[in-house]
Every structure is written in structure tokens, then in C-alpha cells.
């Protein structure tokens, strides 16, 4: 049996972002646009045993996943300052 992956806040963020991206309409549209074929060499995506080919959607410029995860962790996982009711929270953001 393999070693279990750590279940840290950063790993949960990474997993959620990956799941969001893998199920996105934009990714599906890009794959469908090319007919599930590589843009460069025109090899088709395949799950046939011994001939597996997986396609990845390319971004130019590349996405800096580490930076995105760092930003999310910094903004969402830092200790909150204090709780506010919905009305006061909305008012607090209007002031700033």
C-alpha cells in the first residue's frame, strides 16, 4: 500500500483548484475544439491499453499554480481579526 498524502490546508487548496479546473467548461471547450487532438503533432487522446495518450490544456503565459495557492492561503487561511454580523461586515467594507 502506498504512502498516504498529507492533508494540509495547502494540499486541500491544490486539490480544490485542480478539481475546479478539470471540470471547467473552458477546458472542455478547448479539448472539443481540437477534436481531442494535440494541437502540435495531431495525436488523438486515447485510453487504449498500451497506447494511452492524455491531453493537457496549455496556457500562454503559463499559470503559476504555486503563487495562486500561496495567495489563497494568505488571504483565506490567515487568522481572521474578529467576527462581524452580516450588516456590520458589509458596512465595514463600504468604508474601505
Q: Which tens digit of pLDDT belongs to each residue from 5-17?
A: 667 888 888 889 8
Q: Mean pLDDT throughout 67-80?
A: 83
Q: Can you give the pTM of this predicted structure? A: 0.58
Determine what percent of the chain is predicted with pLDDT higher than 90: 18
What would the grid cell of residue 73 be? 492561503
Is 4 part of any domain?
no
**CA torsion through residues 96, 76, 83, 88, sign:** positive
Is residue 77 in a domain? yes
Q: Does any domain span residue 3?
A: no
The answer to whether residue 1 is domain-embedded is no
Number of domains in the chain: 1
Q: Are 73 and 13 in contact (CB under 8 A)?
A: yes
Find out whether 21 and 27 touch, Cβ atoms under 8 Å.
Answer: yes
Domain that holds residue 88: 9-95
Asked whether residue 2 is domain-assigned, the answer is no
Amino acid at each position: 500500500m502506498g504512502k498516504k498524502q498529507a492533508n494540509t490546508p495547502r494540499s486541500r487548496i491544490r486539490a480544490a483548484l485542480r478539481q475546479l479546473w478539470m471540470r471547467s467548461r473552458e477546458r472542455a471547450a478547448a479539448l472539443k475544439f481540437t477534436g481531442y487532438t494535440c494541437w502540435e503533432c495531431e495525436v488523438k487522446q486515447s485510453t487504449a491499453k498500451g497506447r494511452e495518450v492524455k491531453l493537457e490544456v496549455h496556457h500562454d503565459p503559463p499559470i503559476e499554480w504555486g503563487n495562486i495557492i500561496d495567495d489563497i492561503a494568505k488571504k483565506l487561511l490567515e487568522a481572521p481579526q474578529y467576527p462581524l454580523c452580516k450588516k456590520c461586515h458589509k458596512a465595514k467594507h463600504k468604508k474601505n
